[in-house]
Amino acid sequence: MSKDYDLVILGGGTGGYVAAIRAAQLGLQVAIVEKSKLGGTCLHRGCIPSKALLRSAEVYKQTKEAAQYGIDTSEVSLNFGKVQERKDSIIRTLHQGVQGLMKKGKIDVFNGYGRILGPSIFSPVAGTISIEYESGEENTMIVPKNVLIATGSRPRILGSLEYDGEYVLSSDEALEMQELPSSIVIVGGGVIGIEWASMLADFGVEVTVIEYLDRILPTEDEAIGKEVERLLKKKGITFVKNAKVLDDTLKKDKGISIEVEMADGKEIYQADKMLVSIGREANINNIGLDNTDIIVENGVIQTNDLYQTKESHIYAIGDVIGGMQLAHVASHEGIVAIESIANKAPDPIEYNNIPSCVYSNPEIASVGLTEERAKEEGFEIKVGKFPFKAIGKALVHGDSEGFVKVIADKKTEDLLGIHMVGPHVTDMVSEAGLAKVLDATPWEISQTIHPHPSLSEVMGEAALAVDGKQIHG
Ligand SMILES: Cc1cc2nc3c(=O)[nH]c(=O)nc-3n(C[C@H](O)[C@H](O)[C@H](O)COP(=O)(O)OP(=O)(O)OC[C@H]3O[C@@H](n4cnc5c(N)ncnc54)[C@H](O)[C@@H]3O)c2cc1C
The number of C-alpha atoms within 13 Å of 183 and in the hemisphere containing its C-beta is 12
Model-wide pTM > 0.95: yes
Percent of the chain with pLDDT over 70: 98
Nearest to 153 by CA among 20, 21, 287, 22: 287
Q: What is the pLDDT of residue 2?
A: 60
Determine the atom of ligand 1 nearest the C-alpha atom of 318: 26
Sheet of 363-368: strands edge to edge? 356-358, 363-368, 415-422, 403-409, 381-387
DSSP state for residue 440 in the 8-state scheme: -
Rounded to whole angstroms, the Cα distance separating 178 from 165 reads 11
For residue 257, the CA-to-ligand 1 centroid distance in Å is 31
Q: What is the pLDDT of residue 4?
A: 86
Determine the atom of ligand 1 nearest the C-alpha atom of 131: 42
Which of 41, 163, 170, 286 has most ligand 1 atoms within 8 Å of its beta carbon, as the pocket-test mutant?
A: 41
Q: Which of 313, 397, 419, 452 is catalytic?
A: 452
User: If DSSP codes are grouped into helix, strand and coil, which group holds residue 466?
Assistant: coil
Q: What is the pLDDT of residue 127?
A: 75
Q: What is the pLDDT of residue 74?
A: 87
106 to 4, 30, 111, 335, 459: CA distances (angstroms): 14, 8, 15, 18, 43
Q: Whose CA is nearest to atom 47 of ligand 1?
A: 36
Please report, to the nearest 10 degrees, the dihedral formed by the alpha carbons of residues 419, 401, 237, 194 taken in order: -30
For residue 34, the CA-to-ligand 1 centroid distance in Å is 12
For residue 13, the CA-to-ligand 1 centroid distance in Å is 5
Sheet of 273-276: strands edge to edge? 168-169, 273-276, 183-187, 206-210, 238-240
Q: Which helix (H) or strand (E) holds 418?
A: strand 415-422
Q: Whose CA is nearest to atom 38 of ligand 1?
A: 151
Q: What is the pLDDT of residue 354?
A: 98
Model confidence at 121, in pLDDT bands (50, 70, 90)? low
1 to 21, 62, 128: CA distances (angstroms): 24, 58, 11
Chain-centroid distance of CA 323 in Å reads 11
For residue 14, the CA-to-ligand 1 centroid distance in Å is 7
For residue 275, the CA-to-ligand 1 centroid distance in Å is 19
283 to 255, 332, 401, 413: CA distances (angstroms): 31, 19, 39, 42
Q: Whose CA is nearest to atom 17 of ligand 1?
A: 42
Which of 18, 34, 42, 55 has most ligand 1 atoms within 8 Å of its beta carbon, as the pocket-test mutant?
A: 42
Rounded to whole angstroms, the Cα distance separating 11 from 367 reads 28
452 in catalytic set: yes
Does the pLDDT at position 3 exceed 80? no
Of the listed ranges 10-24, 123-137, 407-421, the one predicted with least confidence = 123-137
For 221-242, how does the pLDDT look when each residue is reduced to its tens digit (9 = 90+)?
A: 999 999 999 999 999 999 999 9
Question: Within 6 Å (CB) of ligand 1, which residues are found?
Answer: 10-16, 33-36, 40-42, 45-47, 50, 113-114, 150-153, 171, 192, 283, 287, 318-320, 325-328, 330, 359
Nearest to 147 by CA among 280, 32, 291: 32
Average pLDDT, the chain: 96
Q: What is the pLDDT of residue 122?
A: 65
Q: What is the pLDDT of residue 65?
A: 94
Q: Whose CA is nearest to atom 12 of ligand 1?
A: 326
CB 129 within 8 A of CB 144: yes
Looking at residue 37, its amino acid is K
For residue 122, the CA-to-ligand 1 centroid distance in Å is 31
Which of 151, 171, 192 has most ligand 1 atoms within 8 Å of its beta carbon, as the pocket-test mutant?
A: 151
Rounded to whole angstroms, the Cα distance separating 317 from 325 reads 10
For residue 412, the CA-to-ligand 1 centroid distance in Å is 39
Q: Whose CA is nearest to atom 49 of ligand 1?
A: 40
Does the pLDDT at position 119 exceed 90? no
316 to 7, 54, 73, 329, 356: CA distances (angstroms): 12, 31, 52, 13, 21
Determine the atom of ligand 1 nearest the C-alpha atom of 39: 49
Determine the atom of ligand 1 nearest the C-alpha atom of 359: 8
Which of 44, 47, 169 has most ligand 1 atoms within 8 Å of its beta carbon, as the pocket-test mutant?
A: 47
Please report, to the nearest 10 degrees, the dihedral formed by the alpha carbons of residues 444, 447, 453, 459 taken in order: 20
Q: Whose CA is nearest to atom 35 of ligand 1?
A: 11
Sheet of 140-142: strands edge to edge? 113-116, 129-132, 140-142
For residue 117, the CA-to-ligand 1 centroid distance in Å is 23
Q: What is the pLDDT of residue 200?
A: 98
